[in-house]
């Protein structure tokens, strides 16, 4: 059985979890605290320490750089989901780099500002230390104070996706591709604390998010057979 080793609210882990749910295949999750990477370090033979990581039998799968998508491509090939259709080569790379830079940079800050909602109390000291070492002292408080501005910036960054959905059910065509799950994961991270809703000025994006939250690959296959 495929095992997803994750921090539950990590946007990149949420991407892979939703792909696995979409596939309909059984899988298990192993949650680790964000500051504790010993298990990953061991599994990857001291080659990697970030999340997520996939363990599939003797195979341990992890990314090779910030935009490699090794894990998603592994799952796509193994489960035959059609997420990386060749006609979208190049286009998907441009989109996922935008999503993981322009969108994720805002969504994780907005979610982390409410860390007390989802980080266990016993782990909060280490979580604050982990964040402040990377982003500076009092970063979490600053993001909380800036949340209105950050939300406005996020709405602006999401406008191209709202426009794309004017003519199709998913971002590129009639079925979900990798960039759909990639954007979904960033937005699921944004919504994780329960403090936010998707921007009201983007109604198509809200409907797309609901569809992608529920859809299974078997649904897409049945739809193809009846069209």
* CB contact at 8 A, 77 and 56: no
Q: Give the Å distances, CA to CA, from 84 to 26, 51, 68, 104.
A: 22, 22, 13, 21
pLDDT in tens, 27-54: 999 999 988 899 999 999 999 999 999 9
Q: DSSP states of 194-205 as a string?
A: SS----TT-HHH
- For residues 8 and 75, state if they share a domain: yes
CA 43, CA 49: separation in Å to the nearest integer?
9
Q: What is the tens place of the pLDDT at every residue in 73-117?
A: 999 999 999 999 999 999 999 999 999 999 999 999 999 999 999
Q: How many domains does the chain have?
A: 2
Residues 137-169 pLDDT 10s: 999 999 999 999 999 999 999 999 999 999 999
| Rg of the chain in Å (alpha carbons) | 18
Mean pLDDT of the chain: 95
User: Tens digits of per-residue pLDDT, 172-219?
Assistant: 999 999 999 999 999 999 999 999 999 999 999 999 999 999 999 998
> Residue 96 is encoded by which pair of tokens?
């996922």
**52 shares its domain with 93:** no
Instruction: Find the angle CA(18)-CA(23)-CA(27) to the nearest 5 degrees.
Output: 75
Q: Where in the sequence is the domain holding 33, given as residue range(s)?
A: 2-79
Domain termination residue (choose one: 63, 79, 95): 79
């Amino acid at each position: 059985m495929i095992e997803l080793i994750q921090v539950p609210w990590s946007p990149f882990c949420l991407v892979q979890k939703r792909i696995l749910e979409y596939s309909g295949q059984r899988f298990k999750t192993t949650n680790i605290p964000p500051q504790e990477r010993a298990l990953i370090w061991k599994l990857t033979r001291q080659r990697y320490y970030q999340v997520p990581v996939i363990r599939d039998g003797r195979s341990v799968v992890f990314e090779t750089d910030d935009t490699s998508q090794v894990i998603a491509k592994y799952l796509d090939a193994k489960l035959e989901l059609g997420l990386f259709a060749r006609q979208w080569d190049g286009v998907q790379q441009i989109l996922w780099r935008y999503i993981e830079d322009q969108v994720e940079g805002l969504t994780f800050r907005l979610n982390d500002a409410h860390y007390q909602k989802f980080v266990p109390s016993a782990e909060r000291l280490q979580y604050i230390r982990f964040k402040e070492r990377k982003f500076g002292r009092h970063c979490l408080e600053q993001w909380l104070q800036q949340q209105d501005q950050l939300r406005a910036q996020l709405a602006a960054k999401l406008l191209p996706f709202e426009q794309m959905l004017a003519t199709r059910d998913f971002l590129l065509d009639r079925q979900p591709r990798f960039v759909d799950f990639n954007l979904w994961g960033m937005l699921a991270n944004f919504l994780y604390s329960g403090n936010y809703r998707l921007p009201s000025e983007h109604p198509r994006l809200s409907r797309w998010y609901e569809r992608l939250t529920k859809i299974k690959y078997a649904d897409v296959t049945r739809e193809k057979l009846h069209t």
